[in-house]
Structure 1
Amino acid sequence: MKIFIWVGLFMGSICQLYAQERSVAVTIDDVPQVNVYHQLGKTFSLLTRLDSLNIPVAIFINEDKLNQTADFEGNKALLAQWISRPGITVGNHSYAHLNYADVGYEIFTEDIVKGERVTRELAEKFHKPLKYFRFPFNSMGNDSLQHKKMAGFLESKGYLNTPYTVESEDWMYDMLYNDALARRDLAYAESVGKQYVEMTIKLFDHFDSLAVARYGRPVKQIYLCHDNLLNARYLDKIVNGLKTKGYTFISLDEALTDGIYKSKEYYYGRAGFSWIYRYVQDPVRRKTMVRTEPVNLPAQQAYEELIKRNK
């Protein structure tokens, strides 16, 4: 009888835990992808998709993308469209998406400053702050000294380093998706899109379970994805899938009110993995947690083969 009571209490606590509200802030790196915008005849983009979804997002801008076509002013106008949207928070992602661990302090800080010129002008025009920064590759240096030095620079510039909890390698799926479209293999392109959506939902489940195990509750997740054709066509399916699991969509400002983001980071190095892992002090435990993360081996193998073919 006692066993049945214990099981009932345990299952009740689990149900109560999962009844708690789950929330996520969507953050989008590498904005604006002007090549995709022009490729689609300026008629459809991820921004168009976001307008229909009506969710808050934070964008992280690489201003070098404004020079990827000859139409700089047109590309600047596209960026202005992004920044002007009421539900969009603005962030700096550096000018040329360099890896701090590779180029060092001087070059990287120059790239940060260079990457805010047009963005700050437009942010001021639309009465928005520019207070968030995200490291390209989420690489904050090779060691604790590089990390500390850059943290001091960001603070002096009024920037907050932006974490994330969930990322699903959308850049990999996007490359496979575009390759399939170029080969006119529409069936495989659709398969890639479905795999991306399914894997993203699995990763949310994974990081949610890690958070609940560690903190005893769901945390306000931060999802990292990119401005690309794949998300223009499939982000809505991820949003709808998360809604069916009870997620609400919140701003980055609101997500960062979660106390976990004030936790001490124990990882110092160039790896760009989730902050859920970075807050784990024991490196052995951290590695064990990383190894439990869901992976899509067929997609990774297809991606590696594609890279070899394109060399």
Structure 2
Amino acid sequence: MKQVTLTLLLVICVSLFPQDTASAEALSNKEHNWSFNPAQNNQPATTEPLYEELIEKYGGLYIGDTREKELYLTFDNGYENGYTGEILDVLKEKEVPAAFFITGHYLKEESDLIDRMVNEGHTIGNHSYHHPSLPAVSDERLEREIRSLEEEYEKATGRTDMMYLRPPRGTFSERTLAKTAEMGYVNVFWSLAYKDWETDKQKGADYAYEKIMKRVHPGAVMLLHSVSSDNAKALPKVIDDLKAEGYTFKSLDEWRLKQEEFFQ
């Protein structure tokens, strides 16, 4: 509990009192690949100590309050494979909020689905315009990747609420965390995922259900890919059974609000 409280305080302090990131170029640009360590018996996952330190320092998120049976459902949407509409139908029926992290390609090609996400109260997150590894590009290119998607999103929807970033490919460095935090973004990683993105290796709804239920834990930030037919088929039972176990699904905005209230 002490560790969770300290994490919350650090994240809040970064959000309310941003660090001086003007010297981001001088920070380490060593590329890291996000990873997490699943625990047994639905206990909270962990990550590398360095990753934990960097996320706390720059106000990111990979896990919520592990004292509460709260879940954050997120999807990565690089391209459409015909299942997002079905997923949105389930979320609407079950009254569950989610975050969809989109690319420039998705924004241009799937305007109807974007409209549904917005109109049905979901969060639209930034997954960059062209999906490059951010440590591999300059500060100027990084800013273009993020701002260009942000601007196109505003043109398409009239909204200016894009504030969550899922680093493309799950790669990051201290420089990219600092730069994107300076731009006003919260880097959102995850504490629950499985290999669901290979569209030619889907194994059925039961397989997806077992993978998700085995790894779920209090405070989980769940990463699923909407290209997976397994996820679309398993999602109704996943949601129903998790609710029956006492879990509630929260939005990323609720996570931010909870931290601000905790700080006050």
TM-score by length of 2: 0.63
Q: Name the structure 2 match of 1:202.
A: 214
1:140 aligned to 2:152?
Answer: no
Q: Distance in 2 between matches of 1:156 and 1:101?
A: 16
Q: Which of 157, 175, 179 is the aligned partner of 2:183?
A: 157
TM-score, normalization by structure 1 = 0.54
Q: Give 2:113's match in structure 1, choosing from 71, 75, 78.
A: 78
Note the alpha carbon deviations across 1:107-139, whole angstroms, 9 max, x for none: 3332222222322234534xx611111101221
Structure 1 residue runs of 4+, over 6 Å off? none
Find the residue that maps to 1:194 and give its secondary structure.
helix
> 2:82 aligns to what?
36
Query: Could you say what secondary structure the match of 1:223 adopts?
Result: strand
- After superposition, the C-alpha distances for 1:155-175 in whole angstroms (9 at most, x for unaligned) are 332211123221122214x44
User: Does 2:138 align with 1:92?
Assistant: no
Query: Given that residues 139 and 179 in structure 2 are in contact (C-alpha distance below 8 angstroms), is that contact kept between their aligned partners in structure 1?
Result: no
CA contact (8 A) 1:168 1:200 kept: yes
Structure with larger RCO (C-alpha < 8 A, sep 6+): 2
In our comparison, the structure showing a higher alpha carbon Rg is: 1
* Equivalence for 2:220: 221
Q: Relative to 1, partners in 2 of residues 1:119 and 1:162: Cα closer, same or farther, differing over 3 Å? A: same
| Pairs within 5 Å for 1:1-311 | 21-30=68-77, 33-36=79-82, 44-66=85-107, 72=109, 75-86=110-121, 88-125=122-159, 129-141=161-173, 147=174, 149-172=175-198, 174-177=199-202, 189-190=203-204, 193-204=205-216, 208=217, 218=218, 220-228=219-227, 229-256=229-256
Counterpart residue identity of residue 115, structure 2: A
Q: How many residues align?
A: 193
**1:59 deviation in Å?**
1.4
8 Å CA contact retained: 2:72, 2:251: yes
- Unmatched tracts of structure 1, length 5 or more: 1-19, 142-146, 178-188, 209-217, 263-311
What letter is aligned with 2:201?
Answer: L
Match of 1:185 in 2: none
Q: Is the 8 A contact 1:123 1:129 kept in 2?
A: no
CA offsets per residue over residues 64-112 of structure 1, 9 Å max, x none?
A: 1345xxxx4xx323322222212x1121110122222444544333222
Do the aligned partners of residues 227 and 150 (structure 1) sit closer, same or farther apart at CA in structure 2, a change above 3 Å counting?
Answer: same
Cross-structure match for 1:297? none
- Distance in 1 (CA, whole Å) between partners of 2:81 and 2:197 is 15
Q: Deviations over 1:257-278 (max 9, x none)?
A: 677xx9xxxxxxxxxxxxxxxx
Q: Note if contact 2:97-2:249 (Cα within 8 Å) is conserved in structure 1.
A: yes
Report if aligned partners of 2:73, 2:98 keep a CA contact under 8 Å in 1: yes
User: Residues 256-305 of structure 1: CA distance to partner in whole angstroms, max 9, x if unpaired?
Assistant: 5677xx9xxxxxxxxxxxxxxxxxxxxxxxxxxxxxxxxxxxxxxxxxxx
Gaps of 5+ in 2: 1-66
Q: CA 1:36–1:104 in 2, change beyond 3 Å: closer, same or farther? A: farther
Cα separation, 2, equivalents of 1:35 and 1:245: 31
- Between the aligned partners of 2:147 and 2:232, the Cα distance in structure 1 is 29
Tell me the equivalent position of 1:214.
none
Equivalent residue for 1:213?
A: none
Which secondary structure state, in structure 1, belongs to the residue aligned with residue 197 of structure 2?
helix
Return the letter of the residue paired with 1:159.
Y
Q: CA deviation at 1:234?
A: 1.8
